[in-house]
Chain A
Amino acid sequence: MVFDDNKLKEIYYFMVLSREYENRANELFKNKEFTEKPFSGIGQEAVSVGAVIPLEEKDYIAPTLRSKGAFLAKGITVKDCFLQLYRKGNSASKGLWTAHHMGDMEKGVILTSALVASALPVAAGIAMSSKLRHTGQVVVAYVGDGGTSRGDFHSAVNVAAVHDLPIVFVVENNLYALSTHISEQMKNPNIADRAIGYGISGATVDGQDVIKVIDAVDEAVQRARNGQGPSIIDCKTYRFRGHAESHDELDGRPLDEFDQWRQRCPIKIFEKYIKENSNISEDELLKIRESVIKEIDEAVEFAKNSPDPVIDDTEKLVYA
Chain B
Amino acid sequence: MKTIKSNISGTLRRTLKEEMEKDSRIFLYGEDIGDPYGGIHRVTKGLMTHFGKERVMNSPLDEVAIAGIGVGAAISGMRPVIEIMYGDFLPISMDQIVNCAAKMYFLSGGKVSVPLVIRVNYGSGKGEGAEHSQDPTSWFMNFPGLKIVAPSTPRDAQGLLKSSIEDENPVLFLEHKMLYTLTGEILEDNVAIPLGKADIKREGNDITIVTSSINVHKSLKAAEILKEEGIDVEVVDLRTIKPFDKEAIAASIHKTGRLLVVEESHFTGGWGATIVDFVVQNHFAHLKCAPARLAAVDAPLAARLDIEASQVPNADKIVAKIKEMFGMFGK
A and B co-occur in one complex? yes
Q: List the interface of chain A (C-beta within 8 A of B).
A: 60, 91-94, 96-97, 101, 103-105, 110-111, 113-115, 118-130, 132-133, 151-152, 155-156, 158-159, 162-163, 314-315, 317-320
Do most interface residues of chain B lie in helix, strand or loop, or is the interface mixed? mixed
Complex CA gap A225/B292 in Å reads 59
B322 to chain A, nearest CB (A): 34
Q: By the criterion CB–CB under 8 Å, are B145 and A318 in contact? A: yes
Q: Which residues of A contact B244 (CB under 8 A)?
A: none
Is B36 an interface residue, CB under 8 A from the partner? no
Which of the residues A60, A94, A104, A159 comes within 8 Å of B68, measured between beta carbons? A159
**Nearest CB to that of A163 among chain B residues?**
B57
Q: Which of B70, B77, B105 contacts A318 (CB 8 A)?
A: B105
Partner of B65, one of A113, A155, A317: A155
- Known A121-B71, A129-B77, A130-B76; judge A155-B62 contact (CB<8 A): yes
Residues of B within 8 A of A (CB): 27, 54, 57, 59-60, 62, 64-65, 67-78, 80, 95-96, 99-100, 103-114, 144-145, 147, 168-169
Complex contacts, B147 vs chain A, CB 8 Å: 319
The listed residue (B70, B73, B78, B168) touching A320 by CB distance below 8 A is B168
Q: Across the interface, name the chain A residue whose C-beta is closest to B114.
A: A320
Known pairs A97-B107, A114-B99 / 6 extra A-B pairs, C-beta < 8 Å: A103-B108, A124-B69, A129-B77, A159-B62, A318-B145, A319-B145
Which of B110, B145, B147 has its CB near the most chain A CB atoms (within 10 A)? B110
Q: Find the A residue at minimum CB distance from B71.
A: A122
Given A118-B95, A119-B100, A122-B96, are A319 and B169 also a contact pair (CB < 8 Å)? yes
- Contact residues in B for A96 (Cβ distance below 8 Å): 106-107, 109
- Which A-chain residue is minimally distant from B82 (CB atoms)? A125
Residue from the list A105, A114, A123, A127 in contact with B112, Cβ < 8 A: A105
Q: Are A126 and B72 in contact (CB under 8 A)?
A: yes
What are 21 A-B interface contacts by the 8 Å CB criterion?
A: A60-B76, A96-B109, A97-B107, A110-B75, A111-B108, A121-B64, A122-B71, A124-B69, A125-B69, A125-B70, A125-B75, A126-B75, A128-B73, A132-B54, A152-B95, A155-B62, A158-B62, A159-B68, A162-B60, A315-B144, A319-B145
Minimum CB–CB distance from B149 to chain A (whole Å) comes to: 14
CB-CB < 8 A to A163: which residues of B? 57
Compute how far the CA of A122 lies from the CA of B112 in the bound complex, rounded to whole angstroms.
13
Instruction: Assess whether A127 is in contact with B72, with CB atoms less than 8 Å apart.
Output: yes
CB–CB B112/A111 < 8 A = yes
- What 8 A-B pairs have minimum CB-CB distances, sorted nearest first? A125-B72, A121-B68, A320-B168, A320-B113, A159-B65, A155-B64, A126-B72, A94-B109
How many whole Å from A77's CB to the nearest CB in chain B? 16
A159 engages B60 (CB within 8 Å): yes
Residues B72 and A105 in contact, CB atoms below 8 Å apart:
no
Report the nearest A residue to B105, measured CB to CB.
A320
- What is the bound-complex CA distance between A156 and B77, given in angstroms? 20
Q: A155-B62, A320-B110 are in contact. Are A124 and B105 (CB under 8 A)?
A: no
Note all chain A residues with C-beta closer than 8 A to B77: 129, 133
Q: Is the CB of B73 within 8 A of A132?
A: yes
- On whether A129 and B76 interact (CB within 8 A), knowing A93-B107, A113-B95, A121-B65, the answer reads yes
A-chain residues with CB within 8 Å of residue B64 when the two chains form the complex = 121, 151-152, 155
Give the distance to chain B from A221, nearest Cβ to Cβ, in Å. Answer: 18
CA distance A105 to B71 in the complex (A): 14
Q: Are A156 and B109 also in contact (CB < 8 A) when A128-B73, A133-B77, A318-B144 are?
A: no
Rounded to whole Å, the gap between the CB of A89 and the closest CB of chain B is 10
Q: Which of A60, A114, A118 has the most chain B CB atoms closer than 10 A to its own CB?
A: A118
Q: List, in ascending order, chain B residues with CB within 8 A of A162's CB.
A: 60
Question: Quick one: given A105-B112, A319-B145, are A159 and B95 in contact (CB under 8 Å)?
Answer: no
Also in contact, A93 and B68, with CB within 8 A (given A113-B100, A132-B54): no
Cα A190 to Cα B309 in complex, Å, equals 54
Measured CA separation A127–B95 after assembly (Å) = 20
**Given the complex, which residues of B lie within 8 Å of A317, measured CB to CB?**
105-106, 110
Given A113-B95, A124-B68, A318-B106, residue A105 in contact with residue B75 (CB < 8 A): yes
Contact call A105/B110, Cβ cutoff below 8 A: no
Q: Is the CB of B68 within 8 A of A111?
A: no
Inside 8 A of B106's CB, which chain A residues have their CB? Answer: 96, 314, 317-318
A113 touches B99 (CB 8 A): yes
In the docked arrangement, what's the CA distance between A155 and B54, Å?
20
Question: Would you give the shortest CB distance from B74 to chain A, in whole angstroms?
Answer: 7
Greatest chain B CB density within 10 A among A93, A129, A156 is at A129
Measured CA separation A310–B141 after assembly (Å): 28
Q: Please determine whether A111 and B107 come into contact, CB atoms closer than 8 angstroms.
A: yes
Report the separation of the CA atoms of residues A319 and B96 in the bound assembly, to the nearest whole angstrom. 17
Name which residue of chain A comes closest to B167, CB basis: A320
Given A93-B109, A125-B70, A317-B110: A156 and B65 within 8 A (CB)?
Answer: yes
Q: How far does the alpha carbon of A128 sit from the alpha carbon of B73 in the complex, in Å?
A: 7
Q: Are B74 and A118 in contact (CB under 8 A)?
A: no
- Would B104 and A111 count as touching, CB distance under 8 A? yes
Q: Which partner residue on chain B sits nearest A114 by CB separation?
A: B99
Quick check: B69 and A121 within 8 Å, CB to CB?
A: yes
CA distance A281 to B74 in the complex (A): 47
The contact of B111 among A92, A128, A158, by CB within 8 Å, is A92
Q: Looking across the interface, which residue of chain B has its beta carbon closest to that of A131?
A: B54
Q: Give complex CA distance A159, B59 in Å.
A: 8
B106 to chain A, nearest CB (A): 5
- Give the shortest distance, in Å, between B103 (CB) and chain A (any CB): 8
Which B residues touch A152, using CB under 8 A? 64, 68, 95
- For A126, give the chain B residue with the smallest CB separation: B72
Minimum CB–CB distance for B109 against chain A, Å: 4
A128 / chain B contacts, CB cutoff of 8 Å: 69, 72-73
